[in-house]
Amino acid sequence: MPDATPNREDWAKAIALIRKGRSEHAIPLLDRLLESDPSCSLALRERGFAKSFHGDHPGAIADFTAFILQQPSDPDGYARRASARARAGDLQGAIEDYSAAISRNPMHSYAYLKRGRLKAASGDWSGAVSDFTAAMERSNMGPLSGLLNRGKAKHRMGDLTGAINDLSDAMRLENHPVFAPLYRGRARLDMGDYQGAIADFTAAIEAFPRLTNAYRQRAEARELVGDRKGMEEDLRSYNRLGGRDLPAYE
């Protein structure tokens, strides 16, 4: 990859626009750079990123593919193309690209984490657990994301004890998000620990009073322990807040 870009001013403007979330304005500048020098792999990579951010996933995939042809040993090219493929709905292609990134950099914790999420989305729970474990072993960013994702995957594969252990470990970490107790509450509910589930859903509600999912699931737990009044109160709160779960917590 050439170290120099054909037009430093256009390059600086394009990067600044991408970082500000104005990728649609960066693309014409990168087009001009690539017209001057089609071999500028750095511009290809950044244009692919800008297109993906702007929603042009096929265009992003084409740019990352061109980048990979020029820089076949760079793991980030595969990781970026994987992200674009996932957004375009090509989960298997995305998994293959994250695998290619990992083969070029076995310490690529981000690729393990993202591949694990895609495996979970495709129902490969044991593969997802393995990838989340590998991501935590290689990451210097802390275990929180890995624990949350692995706990969810263990829950879905029926390992409720493992799920609760992972989510409990996540909740011991500073500044854990509100969906840690939400997820643990669901696992406890499925295990039959109704009082523990109620306590977790309550903790989630106290941290985020508009978390509709927690009211609905606490109502379910309260019904199971015979607390009809509490169940009705939670359902009223759920309906008052819109009557539907927040998608981020599905």
Query: Using 50, 70 and 90 to split pLDDT, how confident is the model at 124?
Result: very high
Could you give the CA distance from residue 18 to residue 42 in angstroms, rounded to a whole number?
Answer: 14
The pLDDT assigned to 239 comes to: 97
Instruction: Map out the domains of the chain as residue ranges.
Output: 7-106
Find tokens 């914790």 and name the residue: 109
Tokens representing 211? Answer: 């978390």
Tokens representing 231? Answer: 């169940």
Query: Using 50, 70 and 90 to split pLDDT, how confident is the model at 98?
Result: very high
Are 69 and 1 spatial neighbours (Cβ–Cβ below 8 Å)? no
The pLDDT assigned to 14 comes to: 85
Mean pLDDT of 166-171: 97
Are 65 and 47 spatial neighbours (Cβ–Cβ below 8 Å)? no
**Pick from 94, 10, 14: which is nearest to 54 by CA?**
14
Tokens representing 216? Answer: 């609905």
Tokens representing 106? Answer: 């076995």
Region of poorest pLDDT, from 8-12, 71-75, 92-96, 105-109: 8-12
Task: Tell whether the model's pLDDT for residue 5 goes beyond 60.
Answer: no
Task: Tell whether the model's pLDDT for residue 38 goes beyond 90.
Answer: no
CATH 3.40.1160.10 fits 7-106, yes or no: no
Are 85 and 77 spatial neighbours (Cβ–Cβ below 8 Å)? no
**Pick from 3, 49, 5, 58: which is nearest to 27 by CA?**
49
Query: Using 50, 70 and 90 to split pLDDT, how confident is the model at 7?
Result: low
Distances (CA, A) of 101 to 42, 45, 96, 150: 17, 15, 9, 21
b/e per residue, 200-221, with b = 16+ CB within 10 A?
Answer: bbebbbebbeebbbbbbbbbbb
End-to-end CA distance of the chain: 42
